[in-house]
Amino acid sequence: MTRFARLYDVVRTTWRLGAIGFGLCVCVAAVGWKVSTLQLAERDFLQGQGDSRAIRTKPIAANRGLIFDRNGEPLAVSTPVVSVSVNPSKLADSPDNIRRLANALDLNPEALVTKIQGQRNDPHLLVKRRLSPAEVAPLQAMRIPHVTFEDEYQRFYPQGEVAAHIVGFSNIDNVGQEGIELTYEEHLQGTPGRRQIIQDRRENIIEEIRTIETASDGGNIDLSIDFRLQNLAYKELKAEFTKRRAKSATLVMLDVETGEVLAMANQPSYNPNNKSNISDFGVLRNRAVTDVFEPGSTVKAFTIAAALESGVFEADTIIETSPGWMMVRGHTIQDIHNYGTLNVGKVITKSSNVGTSKIALEIGPEPIRDVLERVGLGQVTGTGFPGERGGLLPSPRRWSAIETATLSYGYGLSVTALQLAQAYSVIADGGIRKPVSLLKLSDDEVAALPRDRVLSASISAQVKEMLETVVDPRRGGSAREARVPFFKVAGKTGTAHVVGERGYEANLHNSLFAGMIPASDPKIVVVIVINEPKGDEHYGGQVAAPVFSRVASGAMRLLNIPPDDLPVSQSILSSGGDE
């Protein structure tokens, strides 16, 4: 090789190396320029774009407030659950993953594929809700792309149908629909929070960045209900409802001193944890506040109170009821038997329609209506319970004689079971009317209760004593089935015909009993209404009074209230033999 050739090779090699070096420098400079541009000029834009694809804001579920009875027994609680959702726009083209998801959730695979592919333009689709953490754990371990898990709470009612009509229920989104759940929705619902998370391209959560806003749990509620009494009332009412094959039944128990509702049961009932089996939505009604009825002879106590107030009658005023019936403007009013000559007290004892009609025609309808209004009949009790009805007190411009007579023994007006219980609590508390409460009252709230005197103490005492004779067979009372061993009971039966398509039905009745115990110093008032019992027995003393006896007897034991009607020998022993 010549010298010139060698020189040429050196120059060419040097040029090539220089060109390569220059090219590399240009590339490095270009990359450096681009990196510098991205880091400086476009940093915020690119950071935002990256964050928008990786950082998400997720809600934090708020725990709905709990509902307790007056002793802290839980009636409504919230349990953590997980809902599964997908991104159809990303998952629609992966039918195998959709089938894996369906099998894990025990769903029809082909149906789920069709559903997701049919919504392929949507970014979010709920697949299944309210899975327990244990149920969803295997699915989470599968890490199927574009499947997300959302924490929620599910409402659970530990006492089931026993307290269903009071507590009510919430829907799948935890929004109250009935009962206390609906009444106090704003107090119970809470406020959801928010958190920021980083997720990968498969929408799996990699890291939680921060909590933007903490969730605020809903407030708790303490009801006035005593679940021990509620359970007792429910059990006994259901037994009688079933035995009598009745259309429906209701029981209300009030605390005489505070006006708190200690028990409120209805039949038929339902399980708020499984509402899918409900075919008749009428079972959702709390009949104690939504259903009105004619109270029948239970009103006679207030007719007698009006008679005593008028000054025209006294407890021993004689009234002739023979021959057991009377005509009023072409209408026949009759008693079950011919009771003959009765005094005013015995009119209550024997529940004489003729006797109360004669009293009403003597004093006029307005005094009776005035007493009924003062004790709370025909007006809402103020509990705020959804669907509460006020009933009706008639107020015609001119009263006919038959309207006056029938008003005296409970026809022509309509009331709820809760109103009737409140009215009887007036007699039990010496003529004092107080508000009814479904919430537990503190000692300060009880002390601050408005206490309106609507009947005099003396008249209330006289009426209460007359009501004691109704339950005492030794004094001719007709409600012996309402007796409670070792306790004095005061109460009144009621039997009212039911209005049908063509007026009052001869063979359909409502059977009632309203009573208080212990009669010497009443602590509770109980009202029982059995609607349209079947069979040969339909009188309040036969159908409703036995329920009162069983419920009141159990209540005295649960509330630890001492007897007030011990036999003489036991009374001497209990007092140490000093008397």
**44 within some domain:** no
**Cα–Cα distance list, 86 to 185, 363, 530 (Å):** 30, 76, 52
What CATH number corresponds to the domain at position 251?
A: 3.40.710.10
pLDDT of residue 578: 37
Are 213 and 232 in the same domain?
Answer: no
3-state secondary structure of 62: coil
Is residue 517 one of the residues assigned to a domain?
Answer: yes
For the chain, the distance separating the N- and C-terminal CA atoms, rounded to the nearest angstrom, is 150
Contact at 8 Å (CB) between 246 and 267? yes
For residue 28, tell me if it sits in a domain.
Answer: no
Please say whether the beta carbons of 530 and 543 come within 8 A: yes
Say how many C-beta atoms besides its own lie within 10 A of residue 171's C-beta.
12
Where are the strands (E) in 289-328, listed by range?
318-320, 325-328
Residues 374, 236, single domain; the answer is yes
Indicate if 286 and 212 belong to the same structural domain. no
* Cα–Cα dist 410/188, whole Å: 40
The CA distances from residue 514 to 65, 95, 424, in Å, are 35, 67, 7
- Kindly provide the residue ranges of all beta strands, DSSP E only, lying in 100-183, ordered along the sequence: 125-131, 147-156, 169-170, 176-178
Same domain, 159 and 91: yes
Let me know: does 401 contact 362? Beta carbons within 8 Å.
no
Query: What domain count does the chain have?
Result: 2
Q: Residue 32 domain-assigned?
A: no
> What percent of the chain clears pLDDT 90, i.e. is strictly above it?
61
190/295 same-domain check: no
Name which of 64, 46, 15, 25 is nearest 170 in CA terms: 64
**169 and 235 assigned to the same domain:** no
CA 79 to chain CA centroid, Å, is 19
Q: Both 512 and 434 in a single domain?
A: yes
Residue 169 lies in a domain: yes
User: 3-state DSSP call for residue 500?
Assistant: strand
Q: CA-based angle 551:182:439, to the nearest 5?
A: 45
pLDDT for the residue 568: 58
Whether residue 405 sits in one domain with residue 496: yes
**Residue 170 belongs to a domain with what CATH number?**
3.90.1310.10
Tell me whether residue 347 is exposed, middle or buried, using C-beta atoms within 10 angstroms of its C-beta: 0 to 12, 13 to 18, 19 or more.
buried
Report the run of H or E that residue 490 belongs to, with start and end: strand 490-500
Q: Are residues 528 and 561 part of one domain?
A: yes
DSSP reduced 3-state for 59: strand
Per-position DSSP letters for 552-575, written without gaps between them: HHHHHHHTTPPPS---HHHHHHHT
Q: What is the pLDDT of residue 11?
A: 67
CA–CA dist 33, 461 (Å, integer)? 102
pLDDT tens per residue across span 10-39: 667 777 777 787 777 877 777 776 666 656
Q: What is the pLDDT along the chain (579 residues), one digit of tens a residue?
A: 566 666 666 667 777 777 787 777 877 777 776 666 656 555 555 455 444 445 666 666 788 999 999 999 999 999 888 888 888 888 888 888 889 888 888 889 888 888 988 888 888 888 888 888 888 888 888 888 888 888 888 899 999 999 999 999 999 888 999 999 999 999 998 877 766 666 555 555 555 555 666 768 889 999 999 999 999 999 999 999 999 999 999 999 999 999 999 999 999 999 999 887 787 888 999 999 999 999 999 999 999 999 999 999 999 999 999 999 999 989 999 999 999 999 999 999 999 999 999 999 999 999 999 999 999 999 999 898 999 999 999 988 889 999 999 999 999 999 999 999 999 999 999 999 999 999 999 999 999 999 999 999 999 999 999 999 999 988 888 899 999 999 999 999 999 999 887 888 888 999 999 999 999 999 999 999 999 999 999 999 999 999 999 999 999 999 999 998 877 555 444 434 333
Whether residues 240 and 201 share a domain: the answer is no
Q: Do both 367 and 265 map to the same domain?
A: yes
CA distance 478 to 171: 47
pLDDT at 157: 95
Specify whether the CB–CB gap between 315 and 462 falls below 8 A: yes
Question: Is 414 considered catalytic here?
Answer: no
Residue 311 lies in a domain: yes
Distance CA 250, CA 266 (A): 5
DSSP 8-state assignment for residue 120: T
Question: What are 426's two structure tokens?
Answer: 């007036």
Range of the domain at 295: 227-270+282-572
Is 498 contained in some domain?
yes
Considering the domain architecture, whether residues 261 and 212 belong to the same structural domain is answered as no
Domain-embedded: residue 18? no
pLDDT on residue 191:
78
Closest of 172, 196, 164 to residue 64, by C-alpha: 172
Residue with the two structure tokens 């505070």:
258
Active-site option among 83, 170, 297, 408: 297
Give the residue from 342, 352, 384, 372 showing the smallest Cα distance to 180: 384
Enter the pTM of the model.
Answer: 0.84
Element (H, E) at 369: helix 365-374
- Tell me the HSE value of 245 on the side-chain side, using a 13 A CA sphere: 5
